[in-house]
Structure 1
Amino acid sequence: MLQLSIACGDYDRNRPLLDGRVQIDGVEPVVMRLNPEEMFFRAMRHEAFDICELSLSSHTLRVSRGDAPYVAIPAFVSRAFRHTGIIVRSDSGIRRPEDLKGRRVGIPEWQLTANVWIRALLEHEYGVRMQDIYWVRGGLEEPGRVEKVKLDLPEGVRIEEIGPEDTLRDMLADGRIDAFIGPRAPTSFVPSNPGLRWIFDDPTAEARAFFQKTRIFPIMHVIGIRRTLVDAHPWLPMAVFKGFVESKRVALEHLSETSATKVTLPFIEEQLRQARSLMGEDFWPYGFQPNRHVLDYFAEAHHHQGLSARRVDPSELFHQSTLESYII
């Protein structure tokens, strides 16, 4: 048995693997439940984990440069429609995406996967180019956040770095920026604060329309395995992939048992039925082929936005053994 560190988020789809109900063949796990910011920082700066959740954007960037420290498997443990990722000041006069043109918009980092998706959404669905916005970059809740990678921005893109003592949350509150884009809302974005709102009156309706048009459920994170381990143990990627697939299956089976709701949130049964009606029985698919169109869309946007040095073919992101499966 290989004793390997596994760092990933404490999501329902990961939990059967993290708590031992699901095993990875040949692996004795040392489990760490961490938030994305810590995992990604430690993985990309220090290769701190044997198996870990990775930002799709950071991994794509490193693959494009030829220095990726991890090999991914197509277990997409984090996905999200990012129509809720655009938050505006209520008094800004911004009522629709087109109103963002010429405005000062805060971002924690240019290369965040959520921001790649949001910029692609703005350009393709609403005609708002990245050059149309004046970007303001820095820490959301704490000062001093840096961009993890060196950027080669497309012509015409403007990014201003905030002051060393500033935060985007405070700048949004006092009007120095008009809007914020990112995967995590500022702590000031609460129902009791009428000063901030989503740009869409009904983000869910916008997301449903986007999916019906494109069949895209945006991917945020993949699972990576340290490249040196993969080279030494070529059986490992498929073993890890099978473990995450089984973990998701157990989680969805648990979620679907609604005689006693497993999630502390009302309307779960209705939302499950709506998701399956719109997106199919497997509404959160793992595997390369079912997600090829999603990954192609992302790879094109990633390169267009100046992040990947070349247009990466999505198959390059994953270990070859996980791109196909046997048939009985």
Structure 2
Amino acid sequence: MNDLNLSIAVGDYDRMRPLFNGDVKIDGVDPVFLRLSPEEIFFRAFRHADFDVCELSLSSFAVKTANGDCPYVGIPVFPSRAFRHTSIYVRKDRGIDSPADLKGKRIGLPEYQLTANVWARALMEDEFGVAPRDVEWIRAGIEEPGRPEKIKLNLPPDVKLTDAPEGSTLSALLRNGDIDAMIGPRIPSCFGEANRVGWAFEDPRAAAMDYYRRTKIFPIMHIVGIRRDLAEAHPWLAATMVKAFSAAKSLCAERLGDTSATKVMLPFVEEQVHDTRKLMGDDYWSYGLNANRHVLETFLHHHHAQGLSPRKVDPEELFDPSTFESVVI
């Protein structure tokens, strides 16, 4: 019997490279890896279901799951996670000393439903009392004009969302002072003292660490999905993919902890790994439903409250049931 020949589209991350270079094999699968940007993967996946297995926006996936029209079924593998305290950029000449001062401001965003923006709005509301209805949202591409939402949205009537003038970009609007702030997953090119643009948090790393100590939430950005027809035709596939992605992540962590030669082009890696494990435990980048239930429940609560999903989705709905348990020896 021949192995399944599957296209697998994911970002070029360290936790994926053991799969790319063949150090970790996927049982019964002959993979063709496509290392693409998240924006390209998500656009092609949700518009045309181009890939057999791929990285997916958690927010877009939740929208499609709530609507009952998602072409993919998820597995509890989370290629991208990030604290979004660095995703809120502000003009430093507008009296914005903390996110609480964003109430009543004009805030740009590349897409309203981006996962990073869901988490940033949740942070603004839970921690600083700034609800989505309290600001005016301006939509545009960060560096290129004309960026549309990937999927159709039906937002609450009290959410004020308008498109930026034709030809505008968020970076230019923020640089010129036409908006007061921006939230998004990529740093705008206008960021820096020269343009009086900085983070909303004076020390976003310290703020994120404090947030984790209090909430135990390490925000999930992306999950992995398998085309639904494939998962149904091959019931073994979902669990097999979880096994392979988990093995790749474990090997990555082992290599990162090898201090004989730094594996990434960044000083103080050994110290940062030590500090991260002290704060978040050894398995700080956990996969699996049970280990991440509270993170997913928090996200899905805000996703529905922000008007993105028409009903509150339960975490179990996101994933193939075969991935809820694993073998124990």
Q: Give the TM-score normalised by the residue count of structure 1.
A: 0.98
* Contact preservation (8 Å) 2:174, 2:190: no
Task: Choose the corresponding residue for 1:16, options 14, 18, 22.
Answer: 18
Which residue is equivalent to 2:6? 4
Provide the C-alpha distance between the structure 2 equivalents of 1:218 and 1:163, rounded to a whole number of angstroms.
Answer: 32
Provide the C-alpha distance between the structure 1 equivalents of 2:161 and 2:52, rounded to a whole number of angstroms.
Answer: 35
Which residue is equivalent to 1:99? 101
In the TM superposition, 1:13-52 aligns within 5 A as 13-52=15-54
In the TM superposition, 1:50-69 aligns within 5 A as 50-69=52-71
- Return the offset for 1:193: 3.4
1:132-165 CA-to-partner distances (Å, cap 9, x unmatched) read 1111011111111111222221241101111221
* Contact preservation (8 Å) 2:58, 2:221: yes
SS of aligned partner of 1:220: strand
SS of aligned partner of 2:214: helix
SS of aligned partner of 1:193: helix
Q: What is the total number of aligned residue pairs between the two structures?
A: 327
1:94-114 CA-to-partner distances (Å, cap 9, x unmatched) read 110111011110000010000
Which residue is equivalent to 1:321? 322
Provide the C-alpha distance between the structure 2 equivalents of 1:226 and 1:184, rounded to a whole number of angstroms.
Answer: 28
Q: Structure 2: any 5+ residue segments left out of the alignment?
A: none
* Contact preservation (8 Å) 2:175, 2:195: no
Q: Structure 1: any 5+ residue segments left out of the alignment?
A: none
Which residue is equivalent to 2:260? 259
Letter in 2 for 1:92: R
- Return the offset for 1:21: 1.2
- Return the offset for 1:258: 1.1
Give aligned-pair identity as a percent.
57
- The question of 1:175 aligning with 2:189 is answered no
In the TM superposition, 1:192-211 aligns within 5 A as 193=194, 195-211=196-212
What is the RMSD computed on CA atoms of the aligned residues?
1.0
- Return the offset for 1:309: 1.2
Provide the C-alpha distance between the structure 2 equivalents of 1:185 and 1:92, rounded to a whole number of angstroms.
Answer: 19
Q: Give the TM-score normalised by the residue count of structure 2.
A: 0.98
Provide the C-alpha distance between the structure 2 equivalents of 1:3 and 1:316, rounded to a whole number of angstroms.
Answer: 27
Which residue is equivalent to 2:245? 244
- Return the offset for 1:273: 0.6
